[in-house]
Chains A and B, each alone.
Chain A
Amino acid sequence: MKYIKLLLLVPFVGMLAPLPLVNRIEPYILGMPFLLFWISLWMVLSSVILYILYKLDADREGEGAE
């Protein structure tokens, strides 16, 4: 559980590493060219990942209190 914070690296790698592959216009998704969709997708996923981390941290703090 000590390495749970490594989850924070996921948005960095996830958004940036595939750029050579996702730097394209088609397919359009949600009306956006693919590259813009990709960046937007990671705005949402980042939020989700942080929420999961927050929950895990809260659980851990709960355990620590016992």
Chain B
Amino acid sequence: MSMPIIIIFSFALLAFLLGISARRGKDMDIQQFAVGNRGFGALLVFLLVAGEVYTTFTFLGGSGWAYSKGAAAFYVPAYVVLAYVLSYWLAPRIWRFAKDRGAVSQPDYFAIRYQSKAFGIIVAIVGCMALIPYITIQLKGLGIIVSEASYGVIPPALASFIGALIVMTYVIISGIHSSAWTAIIKDFLILVVAIFMGLYIPFHYYGGIQPMFEQIQAVAPEKLVLPEQGLGISWFISTVLVNAIGFYLLPQNFSVVLTANGEKSLRKNAITLPLYTLLLLFIFFIGYSAILQIPGLQEADGDLSLLRLSIQTFDPWFVGIIGAAGLLTALVPASVMIISGSVGLTKSVYMAIVPHASEKQQLVVSRVFILIMTASAFLFSIIGGNALAILNIMSYTLIVQLAPALVFGFFPNSRVNKYGAAAGILTGVLIVLWATLFDIQIADFIPSVPHAVNDINVGALALVVNIAVTLGVSFVTNLAASRGEATEAGRY
């Protein structure tokens, strides 16, 4: 066996052992399994939230976007930072309500908030539509990273399979605790690898960061600013807003909020997390370096720019370390996604069928859902082609449709009810699906519309309609209900 393979497998084994031993000393019930008994301090919550940002998608896609699309890639740190700013207000409110009412997942949070099991199921379905492609991308990314870092010896599908098996096993055993423990080594490794590579590569090839950008400016200045149309300023602003609002509504991030041991931990994290986002700059430096060093990667192959450049630059043992870091950036987020999805399905769908299920039964069913989710994500990673990419684009535009229901839920005086909230979500989701699947744009209806309007993120437009429908339907149903009460009162 070659050096990189030994290193990658050592880290895979380490993650596996940490993951399964994370359960030690805990009586596993559904609270413990899903949200670590709401006992995670600021540091663990920090690592888990940060872990959801540094996924394989960031690792490959962040550098890939910088390589192929240039400055449009800056939307990632922009929305992540603003999501943290928003979390200062949002996260403690979610946490407090969930703790008081014993919610352990996003669907049961909403079901309790709107006193409707059906509403919980709607939320669970929207959540899974956002989650499954996300998990699949992690497994697929894992396959690509391990395969490239092993110099092609390990086929991607085999790597994905082993990765899926590892994460499934330790998640079934230890639940969210496994994510927390593996997140510790993951963040350490990615921190070291990203900073080292992000500095070494520009200095090695160009003599510095600024000289690198200046050489790119001489050849391809369009990579350093946002274009006039397409991925321009209006696209940037609307996408950043949609993703910033959607970030904590993604089921995995919602779950992480619930693991905190108090509101203070969440507020403290909101302060430090924006600084951690600076790490993404180093990923961009690598992607930009690749523009002149390994030109000619087309479209999706741009995502390979980081790995290809690493192989060209470093000794095999360090390529192995990069591969190991890549492996962990897949396992940690995937584990949280799988847990939040499976607990959400148990709490909404299963509990609707078996309302009085015991804690033990819920735990068993959650584990069955883990098996199903991991297996289907693995299958999608093998057979799902284009459909997957489209779904992944929609992750944020779909999940952000839950925002009105969440925010109005904070204010009972808003008189938004379950009918309004559900109608709003369904309308928003249908608009996003329709516009994305059929590639519908505003210009299709009004050909003379300026680019700045046409390029607005579809999730933002759907959100506006969603809010209007939420308020409108709530108003009408409240009116009907009070009339109903009035007539009933009149009868007696």
Contacts and interface: CB of A to CB of B under 8 A. Distances in A.
B268 interface: yes
Contact of B81 (A11, A33, A54, A57): A11
Interface string A15-45: 1100110011100100111011001101110
B236 A50 contact: no
Contact of A43 (B226, B237, B240, B275): B275
A35 B237 CA distance: 14
Contact of A16 (B71, B240, B278): B240
Instruction: Give the interface residue-count category, chain B.
Output: 35 or more
B217 A43 contact: no
A53 B244 CA distance: 19
A42 B240 CA distance: 14
B10 interface: no
A54 B271 contact: yes
B77 A43 contact: yes
Interface of B: 71, 74, 77-78, 81-82, 84-86, 88-89, 208-210, 213-214, 217, 221, 224-226, 233, 236-237, 240-241, 244, 267-268, 270-272, 274-275, 277-278, 281, 284
Contact of A39 (B77, B217, B233, B268): B77
B275 A54 contact: no
Interface of A: 5, 8, 11-12, 15-16, 19-20, 23-25, 28, 31-33, 35-36, 39-40, 42-44, 46-47, 49-51, 53-54, 57
CB-CB nearest 4 A-B residue pairs: A31-B209, A31-B210, A46-B274, A47-B274
B274 A50 contact: yes
A36 B284 contact: yes
A50 B84 CA distance: 9
A46 B82 contact: yes
A53 B210 CA distance: 35
B221 A25 contact: yes
Contacts of A57: 267
Contacts of B241: 12, 16
B86 A8 contact: yes
Contact of A32 (B78, B84, B213): B213
Nearest to B222: A25
B237 A16 contact: yes
Contacts of A16: 78, 236-237, 240-241
Given A25-B217, A47-B274, A35 B85 contact: no
A24 B226 CA distance: 8
13 contacts: A12-B241, A16-B237, A16-B240, A19-B226, A25-B225, A28-B210, A36-B284, A43-B81, A46-B82, A46-B84, A47-B274, A50-B267, A50-B270
Contacts of B275: 43-44, 47
B241 to A, nearest CB: 8
